[in-house]
Structure 1
């Protein structure tokens, strides 16, 4: 009995990856209603806490983005190693040090892309994708960007060969400019708040489908997606965190959206509109989960209780003389209202001068307070070893000891 060979479709014309957005009006209205909830919650989140506190949180989320994006690729670096890399302190173990450098490159690339201040329409175009790839891999030595099969990733360079990604045959390399140009013409515009998130979701899939680079497509796509979501997230919630925590579902939905159209009721394009819609639902659901989670984490009333619990735990396990319940009020104040002078912080505790200054010194040493100078104002810090108390489940990997330590 002979089986019929599977015919491989050669993608070499932009019409072959239509539709670029679902066209089902009822389904799009459903997505629009969900997106309004994400937008409203994100805007409320941007008004929570003090700007200095929010900036500290953005630094934490940036490191999380690096950790989770690399985790999706199976090359995670423990959060404590990332923290060390930010201080230019690298492991003496070559494989750990390499992952540290990759994580640091991701953090710096994200900061660079945000700093461009590119308009919305430019963020959703292929030059931003190429810039993202170059910003990441251009920070690595040839050795650090050499893949397991010996290929040296060229920063920001379109692939110059045909490839197979699992069961997917991306477009021929000679046709890439045409596919990218079509994406630019469709996605590279100003979108309404309702449809902007759908456009970002669809672009993320189509970028993955086109597979513009020999390697590094996932990281570059997530960097571009991060920048596209920045006006909404303000860096306070991370889609990478949500995608990494549903890694198998992430890859499954991406793969399903690669499918060819399944009959006359599945849109009018070459690819499945129904599966693209399912991908959008999944992506928007991830955004919903992440903004809701961070809203709960930054609730000021709940945070005050967690600060109290943190001080209590520290007083019973480390330093009874430094960690006193009187610290909760000034700690909560710097979280909500912003930095205090050291004298104001001491006075707000209501403790004696010597006791209060001892506690202040300990809080600074432990990273729960931060200051830009030896006598400068103090603001709230988010030390990794205390995140499980301040923000339960936000970044639980940070509390665990590295297995290769």
Structure 2
């Protein structure tokens, strides 16, 4: 395999301008200490949407509403979710796994991690599975719609050795996003697994962004490459193909596409840094839509909105919203927790709003789309 090297970058190029803008994002992430429960809950929803996007890039047309309904059915019955939904849920699990590892320090980019991510992503799937989850391929493969033919199976291990050496190299700050973009393309170029390469490449890119401080466990909207690639699926494939010759020009064009996409994505969702914007412009209209659809009672809607505005609330804070005795109030809140509309935090009886996998989810997604905060691949 041709050695992995950094292409020459013109200091006056748009790519460098985008790199400076994203460096400011990284500084913000490193200095923020957000503990807003509503922002953290929106982050959890966005991580789930990212998994839907990644599956859609591979042709899975499952909707967000389908995922919510099927995940709830599976949890209630103890039966496995449908195959297409399992594909998405497993990507969520893989992302959660990386976040857990990152919480304890820098992620180690190793063969073991990549194989583990592959196993988490494809294990047990019928349509998009792999006969050997967690194992590099031992057969030749092709890439649908691409002229590039991935390396023979005998060179996969050595090629991945080189990729990981490059991925783990300590480089100056101005080269780090270039490094991430180059690793993503070269991983897809190698195609180390029989199936699931696209999904694992996006998980690996997320891991590298996390390592370099371009995402935050406390941000309402984490910087995630899948949102960029999902903005225009064909453009993603075209730019990947344009770099397949490994020419400096093709590789630089690919890197520019990734970095500009990340910058545009952050510009689009920067408003989500403000808790009041989330409660007033995202949650409020979503609650009204669910109420109009008959999916919430007026009391439930009032409680959700009140808790969203406060961030977290105790039962006593809601006496103007839930009339009656304290026991009646506790009973109503307990039922909302059981239905997934609220979560009860550990500690002295505080409640927070839940946006993930309940009747609010589809309305929140529609509202985010109205606010132009979702890529085109999620619009259906």
The alignment's TM-score, normalised by the length of structure 1, stands at: 0.74
* Equivalent-residue separation in structure 1 for 2:85 and 2:147 (angstroms): 32
1:227 offset after TM fit, Å? 1.5
Structure 2 counterpart of 1:332: 309
1:263 maps to which residue? none
Matches within 5 A, 1:136-285: 136-137=121-122, 140-141=123-124, 144-145=125-126, 152-165=130-143, 166-230=146-210, 231-234=213-216, 236-237=221-222, 238-259=224-245, 271-285=246-260
Q: Larger radius of gyration, structure 1 or 2?
A: 1
- Give the Å deviation of 1:241: 2.3
Q: What corresponds to 1:11 in structure 2? A: none
Alpha-carbon contact 2:178-2:255 (below 8 Å) kept: yes
Report deviation, 1:293: 2.4
State the secondary structure of the residue aligned to 1:378: strand
User: Within 2, Cα distance between the matches of 1:283 and 1:181?
Assistant: 24
Change (3 A) 1:70 1:40: same
Mapped pair 1:54 → 2:36: no
Alpha carbon RMSD of aligned pairs, Å? 3.8
Match of 2:18 in 1: 34
Q: Is the 8 A contact 1:19 1:273 kept in 2?
A: no
Unaligned runs of 5+ in 2: none
How far 1:250 sits from its partner (Å)?
0.4
- Report deviation, 1:220: 1.0
| Matching of residue 79 in structure 1 with residue 64 in structure 2 | yes
Question: What does the per-residue CA deviation read over 1:111-155, in whole Å, with 9 as the maximum and x for residues that have no partner?
Answer: 2233233865733x5443223212323xx33xx2466xxx94311
Alignment of 1:313-352 (within 5 A): 318=294, 321-322=298-299, 328=305, 330-334=307-311, 339-346=312-319
Change (3 A) 1:152 1:283: closer
Corresponding residue pairs, total: 358
On the 8 A contact 2:38/2:275 being kept in 1, the answer is no
Correspondent of 1:100 among 81, 85, 97: 85
Contact 1:162 1:173 in 2 (8 A): yes
Instruction: Pick the aligned partner of 2:53 from 47, 68, 71.
Output: 68
Inter-CA distance 45–384: structure 2 relative to 1 (3 Å threshold): farther
TM-score, scaled to structure 2? 0.78
Contact 1:121 1:188 in 2 (8 A): no
Cα contact 1:370–1:379 (8 A) shared by 2: yes
Q: Does 1:287 pair with 2:262?
A: yes
Aligned to 1:122, the other structure's residue is in SS state coil
Where does residue 379 of structure 1 map in the other structure?
A: 352
Q: CA deviation at 1:194?
A: 2.5
Quote the offset at 1:84 in angstroms.
Answer: 4.1
Counterparts in 2 of 1:83 and 1:317: CA distance versus 1, 3 Å: closer
Q: Is the 8 A contact 1:312 1:323 kept in 2?
A: no
Distance in 2, matches of 1:379 and 1:241, equals 27
